[in-house]
């Protein structure tokens, strides 16, 4: 079981370009890849997204890609002669206009945009891809390893909470028969207080008790709960994304506990249901971060 929270960083360089990549992920119901890539290499985005989705099924993954010249690379410097001459002419015109000599210095050339240009022409996209893909694989693998490690902590926590739900369910099973007996006693008391001379073996009383027993019977719900618990543990043992089926099982468990709660006309059973739903909500919170 993997968490959807992780981080990875890697870099790779060729003779022409170096790629530095950071990949971070947070929980999301669907798979979502957000890529930050220099505009000059936008054509590579689709391939990067496809490569990432092959490794991930759920979560929002941010991939930040920085591309630089490798260490030791030299940058060509170009002088825009036309712009330099235009600057010099502007200073001459300024001197004539104000009848005062205004000297043009080297710093003026450096401060004026595009007079001296460094060659930062982007590398060929195919060359950039050769640097990006190995770094991407390494960063994603590192992030996935972190997700797997956190997933193990989630696994142990969820297993313990499922055991707690099983214990609560067993307490419900033990308590359930007393509900019918208590109803029988209460019915007898009410009849006695009303001074009605009706024997508990009367067919009308037996029919009433039978109807109540049918309404409060939770055998089917208990059976389905045990089935869901077994399925839950089966999914937890799988080495594949299980977040969606586990989320569905949490909904089914909640439905069964709600049904038992609506049938149980008993304070003790109601408290067991409250405890179970509280524990189930904690499980659902954990499952929201499972891939």
What tens digit of pLDDT does each residue of 29-38 get?
888 999 999 8
Q: Is the pLDDT of residue 213 over 90?
A: no
Q: Which runs of E-coded beta strand occur in the chain?
A: 6-13, 18-26, 31-36, 59-68, 77-79, 116-118
Question: Domain spanning 6-71+127-148: which superfamily?
Answer: Imidazole glycerol phosphate dehydratase; domain 1 (3.30.230.40)
- Which range has highest mean pLDDT (152-166, 190-204, 258-272)? 152-166
Q: Model pTM?
A: 0.66
Let me know if the fold of 6-71+127-148 is the same as that of 149-287: no
Beta bridge partners of 19: 12, 67
pLDDT tens-place string over residues 169-185:
999 888 877 665 665 55
Question: CA 100 to CA 77: how far, in whole Å?
Answer: 34
Q: Is the pLDDT of residue 67 over 70?
A: yes
Question: CA 255 to CA 277: how far, in whole Å?
Answer: 10
Counting residues of the chain whose pLDDT is more than 70, the rounded percentage is 82
**Domain 149-287: assigned CATH number:** 1.20.120
Retrieve residue 32's tokens.
């979502």
Mean pLDDT of the chain: 84
pLDDT tens-place string over residues 249-271:
999 999 999 988 887 777 788 89
Q: What is the pLDDT of residue 130?
A: 93
Parallel/antiparallel/unpaired status of strands 31-36 and 59-68: parallel
> Domain residue spans in the chain?
6-71+127-148, 77-118, 149-287
């Amino acid at each position: 079981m993997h968490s959807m929270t992780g981080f990875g960083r890697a870099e790779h360089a060729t003779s022409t370009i170096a790629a530095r990549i950071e990949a971070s992920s947070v929980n999301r119901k669907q798979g979502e890849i957000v890529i930050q890539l220099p505009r000059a290499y936008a054509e590579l985005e689709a391939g990067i997204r496809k490569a990432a989705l092959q490794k991930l099924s759920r979560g929002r993954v941010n991939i930040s890609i920085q591309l630089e010249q490798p260490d030791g690379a030299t940058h060509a410097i170009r002088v825009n002669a036309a712009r330099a001459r235009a600057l010099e002419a502007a200073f001459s015109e300024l001197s004539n206009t104000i009848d005062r000599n205004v000297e043009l210095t080297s710093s003026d050339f450096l401060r004026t945009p595009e007079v001296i240009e460094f060659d930062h022409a982007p590398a060929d996209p195919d060359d950039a891809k050769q640097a990006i893909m190995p770094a991407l694989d390494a960063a994603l693998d590192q992030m996935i390893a972190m997700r797997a490690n956190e997933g193990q902590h989630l696994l142990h926590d969820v297993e313990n909470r499922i055991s707690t739900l099983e214990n609560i369910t067993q307490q419900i099973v033990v308590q359930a028969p007393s509900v019918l007996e208590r109803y029988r006693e209460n019915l007898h008391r009410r009849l006695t207080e009303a001074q009605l001379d009706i024997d508990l073996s009367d067919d009308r009383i037996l029919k009433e008790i039978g109807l109540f027993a049918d309404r409060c019977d939770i055998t089917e719900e208990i059976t389905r709960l045990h089935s869901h618990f077994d399925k839950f543990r089966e999914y937890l043992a799988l080495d594949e994304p299980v977040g969606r089926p586990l989320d569905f099982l949490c909904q089914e468990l909640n439905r069964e506990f709600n049904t038992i709660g609506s049938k149980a006309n008993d304070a003790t059973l109601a408290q067991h249901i409250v405890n179970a739903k509280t524990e189930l909500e904690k499980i659902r919170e954990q499952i929201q971060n499972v891939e």
